[in-house]
Amino acid sequence: MMRVKKDYESLRNKAFTVFNTANKKKHSVIYKIEKDEWCCDCTWNSLKETHCSHIKAVIKKINSKKAEKLVKKLGI
């Protein structure tokens, strides 16, 4: 399981820490707002062109938060 924690948000970046409870490893994920680009410090992300599981976990969390807000707004 991936635990996502938001570290900070600035005008240029959004930073998150992703903790993998399976192997107890932590990774730093940064979203560069201007470039619309995701970065992670894991080896997968530097080797492959695709998003690693840490970045995906952050995106998933953001999307589920957005969905929650929408549900509240619509009162479903």
Which positions touch Zn ion (CB under 5 A)? 27, 40, 42, 45, 52, 54
The nearest distance, CB 53 to Zn ion, in angstroms, is 6
Shorter beta-carbon distance to Zn ion: residue 16 or 27: 27
Nearest C-alpha neighbor of 28 from the set 49, 1, 20: 20
DSSP 52: P
Report the Cα–Cα distance between both ends of the chain, in Å, rounded. 29
The nearest distance, CB 74 to Zn ion, in angstroms, is 34
Shorter beta-carbon distance to Zn ion: residue 36 or 74: 36
CA pair distance 68, 62, nearest whole angstrom: 10
Shorter beta-carbon distance to Zn ion: residue 36 or 75: 36
